[in-house]
Chains A and B, each alone.
Chain A
Amino acid sequence: NAGVTQTPKFQVLKTGQSMTLQCAQDMNHEYMSWYRQDPGMGLRLIHYSVGAGITDQGEVPNGYNVSRSTTEDFPLRLLSAAPSQTSVYFCASSLPLGGGRTEQFFGPGTRLTVL
């Protein structure tokens, strides 16, 4: 298993450009989430999905869109990039195993700079 993969690893955008951050998992996990990590602020949830076709907003959804057409993929779209979106983006997938146990993995992250 490759686990959770994210592409690209690094990206530089100009203000106003759009792009899609890719996230894929091969573990048949139901749940997938996107977080951004900024210095001094920990990770903040952008959007999450509890299954194919089902997505919902997290704490900081503005400026981002998601879709979940398959179990494996959960792309994050930046509609019109702004300098405030400069951050490290992490995708995570998880599966509750029952009995209070869970299986969860994070991707390696995408470091995005918006000029």
Chain B
Amino acid sequence: SQELEQSPQSLIVQEGKNLTINCTSSKTLYGLYWYKQKYGEGLIFLMMLQKGGEEKSHEKITAKLDEKKQQSSLHITASQPSHAGIYLCGADLFGTGTASKLTFGTGTRLQVTL
């Protein structure tokens, strides 16, 4: 959706390197959800951010929501081959406070080389 821009579209990084994926909207991100999708499979929920300035981490993945609540970033530290896949951001742009009606970015395809 053009309402949610995700960058870069694809990324190839060497194992052990850090990387950042961005998700930007001109609208308020009432809730921002990050997912990982393995090729040909369903989406796996990673993290959800709701408050401006919020930051969450799980293992080597950190997600942040800016103070204005219009941009989020996903940072992977010391990438591993297991991090390869498609990363998608989904946003509650309607203020439902739920994950029932999300608008998604087009995804970032991540490859991790040895």
B-binding residues in A (CB < 8 A): 4, 31-33, 35, 40-45, 48-50, 56, 58-59, 90, 92, 94, 96, 100-102, 104-109
Contacts and interface: CB of A to CB of B under 8 A. Distances in A.
Contact of A96 (B6, B98, B101, B107): B98
Interface string B65-101: 0000000000000000000000010100000011111
B43 interface: yes
Interface string B1-45: 100101000000000000000000000000101010000011111
B90 to A, nearest CB: 7
Interface footprint category on B: 20 to 34
A108 B51 contact: no
Interface of B: 1, 4, 6, 31, 33, 35, 41-45, 48, 50-51, 54, 88, 90, 97-107
A90 B104 contact: no
Given A45-B101, A45-B103, A59-B1, A104 B45 contact: yes
Main secondary structure of the interface of A (DSSP, over half): strand
Contacts, number: 75
A76 to B, nearest CB: 15
B104 A48 contact: no
Given A44-B1, A90-B43, A104-B33, A33 B101 contact: yes
A94 B98 contact: yes
B49 to A, nearest CB: 8
A31 B99 contact: yes
Given A43-B88, A44-B104, A101 B99 contact: no
Contact of A42 (B1, B42, B98, B101): B1
Given A42-B104, A43-B104, A59-B1, A96 B41 contact: no
A106 B103 contact: no
Contacts of B4: 42
Given A48-B100, A90-B42, 5 more contacts: A42-B6, A45-B103, A49-B100, A56-B101, A109-B42
Contacts of A109: 41-42
